[in-house]
Amino acid sequence: KAGVTQTPRYLIKTRGQQVTLSCSPISGHRSVSWYQQTPGQGLQFLFEYFSETQRNKGNFPGRFSGRQFSNSRSEMNVSTLELGDSALYLCASSYRTGDHEQYFGPGTRLTVT
């Protein structure tokens, strides 16, 4: 069974631009969660989607948004990029909301210049 895939793996953007990241969960998994990982803050939860609905949301500004499609694939969007948005963005999938077993993708490394 293929693992969680994320595209692109690396991205360089400039301040003020917007970016869209994609995540394909493990086949059969319907929950997708997004995390931001930085050296200073560690892993921080962004949001979770299940059955195309946002189920949980972390403490990030409205510039961070996401969506999920009927095939469970998910995208997250960051608008008006700031230097502090530079991070590794990870998505994780699981069968259902609140499942303690979630599996992470390799991440997208976003650099904002």
Partner 1 sequence: GESVGLHLPTLSVQEGDNSIINCAYSNSASDYFIWYKQESGKGPQFIIDIRSNMDKRQGQRVTVLLNKTVKHLSLQIAATQPGDSAVYFCAELYNFNKFYFGSGTKLNVKP
Q: Give contact residues for partner 1 (rule: CB under 8 A).
A: 4, 33, 35, 42-45, 56, 58-59, 90, 92, 97-98, 100-107
Closer of 62 and 100 to partner 1 (Cβ): 100
Taking the C-alpha atoms of residue 43 and residue 40, their distance in angstroms, rounded to an integer, is 9
Closer of 28 and 42 to partner 1 (Cβ): 42
Minimum CB distance to partner 1, residue 81 (Å):
22
Minimum CB distance to partner 1, residue 80 (Å):
25
Residue 105, phi then psi, degrees to nearest 5: -85, 180
**Residues of the chain by 3-state class (helix, strand, coil), percent to 5:** 5, 55, 45
Minimum CB distance to partner 1, residue 22 (Å):
15
Q: Does residue 4 contact residue 70 with C-beta atoms inside 8 Å?
A: no
Closer of 17 and 43 to partner 1 (Cβ): 43
Minimum CB distance to partner 1, residue 90 (Å):
5
Closer of 14 and 111 to partner 1 (Cβ): 111
The two structure tokens encoding residue 110:
């976003």
Coil, strand or helix: which one is 105? coil
Taking the C-alpha atoms of residue 102 and residue 50, their distance in angstroms, rounded to an integer, is 13
